Chains A and B, each alone.
Chain A
């Protein structure tokens, strides 16, 4: 049991006739039918997952699919009907109220959609709230709160009141309040849902930046797929209280489990999901000393348009079929065909940033940290991915 957070068979029904609802569920009846027949709302149905230390686990789904209910079960705000919710091994579904309170004080913090800042307290007091609850003395808690506030860039607003701040700033305060208690797990229920798109983008970047520094374990709820793809190390797609698919963003986009997931993926900004590394194909390479005819033969065999030339110092350049063919005809050397000025990128570059490089018509070389060629991205692949028509499964990443 190494996971930070481990949820097994979590169930939540709202209503009285839960056993009847459970029976109907096992017979395969849907959420709407069960509500009709018993008045029981299925909030969460048999959800299982684990989140590792340092991971951002995103839960997404349409409104009413049970995301808020599920995330509130993780800190016991909504007690599960059945199932286990273990935080560092402690099952908070079955522990005493004292233990639950202790877990909430030390291990888990929550950030809310509408910020939920206390309007009668200053920003600093808001951030210090979790520490106050813990019983930490005034001086120490205000010092810590100030440090947390600095982390989100709002040190100057310490003495303002929430109503004086913009939405984006208020949510930064909400995040600082979660960070101040040193909780390792942070639950975020559509934290950027109430912000306008520009601020939202900004906040997403800031969250990623913070996460790089702090390595928290984050459960992040959203109904925005692009947000999910950007932030999530793994994503769970939720429908009618169930997880229909869990996987990395790339797995989910490449292999949607069913039509529901596929429909979600339809309007995704694929350029931000896939990176050069995801779509790279093995490079066609020749040695710098080879004869042009050898290179041409290589290209014919690989049915490719350009070849990358490797010299003593590593990647030297790229040569197109046409230029090599001309070199063969003119009896020239391979070096006559080589262009040293070629598009190169790292494996983590998102595809939407490759658009320009791809428009040169040359395959984009993907190199690792030491400048070694690990693959190439063909211009047509970039365009195909951006337009949502994936020509073939990525050769380097067999479907999981």
Chain B
């Protein structure tokens, strides 16, 4: 490549509390290049990028920007040097407007030191137009009225608002719908054409081949491969990530429910503010998929079952008995548990230890009768950490310091640890690497095979098609179709949800 290097990292090291995370990473990025970074959960991808962005300081190593050595002591410094980063976990101020969020780092002020609202509005509008999303987001809209996907776009807009020359995207597609992903790719292409260098972190390896020019693989704190995407196969990438050969293709085996089995969970014409007469049945040993576009009502169905939204009419039956569920506590008492959509807001207490988070739903079982049975609790926590392969320094580590994917595993572990017989999973493998994803699917599979029931929401239709025994298609709060296992394929699901 003849263009000058936008970024060159050599021998970068970083440790946290004595645990090395980066052990001498080398990385190169040319201007106008889209470069993917892949690696397992906890490999150090986010940490590496937070160093480039000035949020963390390296222990050792060298960062060069356009040929000059750079040392940033804060994201503000990095910004000034032309680096912008969209974090894995969004960092918008919910109560403020789109425009205010965009220019948080550099307000437009008029002569008297007052904010120039008009100018900000205009600049925001121009930016949204440049990204091709002015039609659906307006500068004056409050951020909490945006969907997760729209917030992701806003983050990118915020990043390029200050003419970034290097843009870092940490798992940007994790919460996007298919259409939004396509639009994101278009935005990336446009920025690339303008000479912006882009670092793209993802667990969706297929996407890399669509929009990235090159890829680096991070494993055990080192960069173990750098390749052009047209010269490497997905299998080789996976093997590099894991450090060993990966086998592919798997059949999920579960015994068919007995002919006379009663549904473990049944909804009869369930109606809430956002649902309209939803009926479905889940038999023991089954995994039922809910497929639909973002905002179609998939999450709403799970929320209604879990007692999070008031039921206007219709009923929920557990083991054939009608039950009243008015709060998550009621649901858990009925043997139902939920892995919610948003791990940081709904799933975790970030300042709790891994063990405390894992046990948060099972405190009632652990109280014996007054004092908590710490030994048993610790045993359960250790077992979950091992089974889910949560990468942590131990059960006492604060969840705040786990990598994003490992935080997600803690949420899943919390729900698996209870005596629940019905598990509701809302995009449970969000942000989880391929190997861990398989592990989690296997655990869910075994769980169902033991006679439990699972309702599974995912935006990955391939995952639903291969994993679920039957799928309900959700559209505008209604069930529009019920597909049996043999009729569901990725293509058919994609067509059906529209």
Partners in one complex: no
Q: Which residues does B use to contact A, with CB under 8 Å?
A: none
Q: Which residues does A use to contact B, with CB under 8 Å?
A: none
